[in-house]
Structure 1
Amino acid sequence: MKSILLFLIGLLSISNNAQIKESYMSTKIVVAHRGASGYLPEHTLESKAMAHAMNPHFIEQDLVLSKDNVPIVIHDIYLDDVTDVALKFPKRNRQDNRFYVIDFTFDELKTLQVTERFHPKTGEQVYKSRFPKGKGNFKLHSLQEELELILGLNKSAGKNIGIYPEIKEPGFHIKEGKKLTEIVLKILFDFGYKTKKDNCVLQCFDAKELERIRTELKSELFLVQLTEFDKDVKNLEYIASFADGIGPWYKQILDKKVNDKWQFTSLVSDAHKLGLKVHTYTFRADAFDGFSSFEEMMQTLLIDVNVDGAFTDFPDLVVNFLEK
């Protein structure tokens, strides 16, 4: 009798864990890519606040360490394509003429002005119809500052919008003697993001690092393996051994168009067979290469091929599409 009772308790536990895992993944999710970056400079607190008001399921944080080991929310290890670092610190570039986040203290980084993304060599704004380059008063900020903002807004607005942090260039940080992953995991833990039941998805392009997060560092968070090239998804079984989902570039999902109808690769169906969620990137209303319109892009990827979620610079448009 006792063994039967323990067996039933075990089944209930498995069922509860499955329900917990699916609780915030049971619908198609919208991830605010670098915030509401289609409207305000990416990864600024202003962009994150605007995104929060648009009701996505998650808001993304790309993370790079400062010289004094503060996780900075910025898309890349470089500073010179989104800030005025070349003007404020003209002699602090490396041999490749790039300016690196890791070479500046947090206090120094806070002195920089953040602007709309531009080409560092030409100064030309990447997305010309977006917020004017060089205008406004935007600053860099830490992971802690962003978590305080999102959790504060969740409380004041009565929402439960999650976070979707990315460990950026872990190999680069290791070579620089930095433990980016360990520092980020501790901060997430301290803010209450500990297991799959918490509203946090941790992502990384480096499969070995993501596997290490699961096996060596014993993280119980929902993990997503980002992919960009076909070689990245050749062994989905390996990815499924440590990750809960994949984040492919949307062109990895598309095959070709026949009579104005898209044909797809097997990536989404193969991932689903292994129990992996598929969150594809990036939906841009001003750059939908391969599609005749942004609406066609949303319909094709979110509905026709049935991905589980999307990263977007325009969270309001994707939220509205899914609500319809």
Structure 2
Amino acid sequence: MNSKIVIAHRGASGYLPEHTMEAKAMAYAMLPDYIEQDLVLSKDDVPIVIHDIYLDDVTNVARIFPNRKREDGRYYVIDFTFNELLQLQVSERFNPTTGAQLYPNRFPKNKASFKLHSLQQEIELIQGLNYSTGNFVGIYPEIKNPNFHYKNGKDITKITLDILSSYDYKTEEDKCILQCFDAKELERTRMVLKSKLLLVQLIESTEKIKRLDYFSSYANGIGPWYKQILDKKENGKWIFTDLINKAHNLNLFVHPYTFRHDQLEDFTSFEEMMHVLFFEANIDGGFTDFPDKMITFLRKEKS
């Protein structure tokens, strides 16, 4: 991977509710390198494109199926069939207790009509658009919470790999990168399930960074939180951790998450954030809710 890679995080999720077909179609029109799909199984083993195992922070499940929550008060994707899930309306992410929208300046909550969909439906949309436009946008699926699925009697990784294979995503050349936070599961994907896809080990904790040697034995890249790359600022200039150098020395590419125009935290502008991470820290690609802004920035830097 020589050029910098743009990954549409949950689609064009800065503009439309995350992981909806509309957010994916909008992202596609921006022509990123990859579009991301988070995957959770339904009761009848259909991989649903949704950020996590819960339904009650992005849908109206509490209103449609009020009696289907578990003892913890949450509603789980895995307790509903695909047909039941299709009855739900999807909205911008919100706090299920207060109802407050997580990103208040994004698409207004409960406006317009959005639905859940399957991995197969999204692949057919992206492959169909690749065919009709002549472009070649890839997919970047994530296996969510494999242990939770095991506890519920399901092997989400095997089911996902079978579907990917049926749509001709089988090798490193097929523009499909498979990611997971669970290192044991990603290692199993390579060693036991014999996947030849590009694999990315997601990293959520500093503890995990110490295991890069192990990750390089089965993965092609890592996906750290971008703050794991930043050490401190001295005289107005960022000093970086050794994460990128270590990863590159092990032939691992680095795709950190998540670049958000409306959540800058450490930076004064989105452009500064991208410049620091792409060109000072030398990351290989990034996940963003605003693919158009990242693409425009990288194009300008190139020219």
Fold agreement, TM-score > 0.5: yes
State the match for 1:96 in structure 2. Answer: 72
Answering whether residue 297 of structure 2 is matched by residue 321 of structure 1, we say: yes
State the match for 1:302 in structure 2. Answer: 278
Secondary structure of 2:232 counterpart: strand
Answering whether residue 175 of structure 2 is matched by residue 199 of structure 1, we say: yes
CA distance in 2, matches of 1:293, 1:264: 19
After TM superposition, the structure 1 stretch with the greater mean CA deviation from structure 2, 215-224 or 290-299, is: 290-299
State the match for 1:266 in structure 2. Answer: 242
Write out aligned runs for 1:171-320 (5 A): 171-320=147-296
State the match for 1:168 in structure 2. Answer: 144
Q: 110, 113, 117: which is aligned to 1:134?
A: 110
* 1:131-175 superposed Cα distances (whole Å, 9 cap, x missing partner): 000001100000000000000001111100000000000000001
* 1:89-114 superposed Cα distances (whole Å, 9 cap, x missing partner): 11111111010000000000000000
Deviation of the 1:293 alpha carbon? 1.2
Deviation of the 1:259 alpha carbon? 1.1
**Amino acid aligned to 2:149:** H
Write out aligned runs for 1:26-37 (5 A): 26-37=2-13
Secondary structure of 2:268 counterpart: coil
Deviation of the 1:232 alpha carbon? 1.1
Answering whether residue 22 of structure 2 is matched by residue 50 of structure 1, we say: no
State the match for 1:116 in structure 2. Answer: 92
State the match for 1:18 in structure 2. Answer: none
Deviation of the 1:233 alpha carbon? 1.2
Answering whether residue 59 of structure 2 is matched by residue 59 of structure 1, we say: no
**Amino acid aligned to 1:41:** P
**Amino acid aligned to 1:277:** F
Deviation of the 1:26 alpha carbon? 2.0
**Amino acid aligned to 1:278:** V
State the match for 1:15 in structure 2. Answer: none
CA distance in 2, matches of 1:195, 1:206: 21
TM-score (ref. length: structure 2): 0.98
* 1:41-70 superposed Cα distances (whole Å, 9 cap, x missing partner): 000000000000001000000000000000
CA distance in 1, matches of 2:248, 2:292: 27
Secondary structure of 2:73 counterpart: coil
**Amino acid aligned to 2:60:** D
CA distance in 2, matches of 1:224, 1:241: 12
CA distance in 1, matches of 2:14, 2:201: 24
Q: Percent identity?
A: 66
Answering whether residue 90 of structure 2 is matched by residue 107 of structure 1, we say: no
What's the C-alpha RMSD, in Å, of the aligned pairs?
0.5
4+ runs of 1 displaced by more than 6 Å? Answer: none
Deviation of the 1:195 alpha carbon? 0.5
Secondary structure of 2:257 counterpart: strand
**Amino acid aligned to 2:142:** E
Secondary structure of 1:148 counterpart: helix
* 1:269-291 superposed Cα distances (whole Å, 9 cap, x missing partner): 10000000000000000001111
Secondary structure of 2:190 counterpart: helix
CA distance in 2, matches of 1:60, 1:314: 13
Deviation of the 1:228 alpha carbon? 1.1
Instruction: Specify the structure having the higher radius of gyration (Cα).
Output: 1
CA distance in 1, matches of 2:142, 2:160: 9
Answering whether residue 54 of structure 2 is matched by residue 84 of structure 1, we say: no
State the match for 1:68 in structure 2. Answer: 44
CA distance in 2, matches of 1:210, 1:26: 24
Structure 1 gap ranges (5+): 1-24
**Amino acid aligned to 1:319:** I
TM-score (ref. length: structure 1): 0.92
CA distance in 2, matches of 1:107, 1:144: 14
Secondary structure of 2:140 counterpart: strand
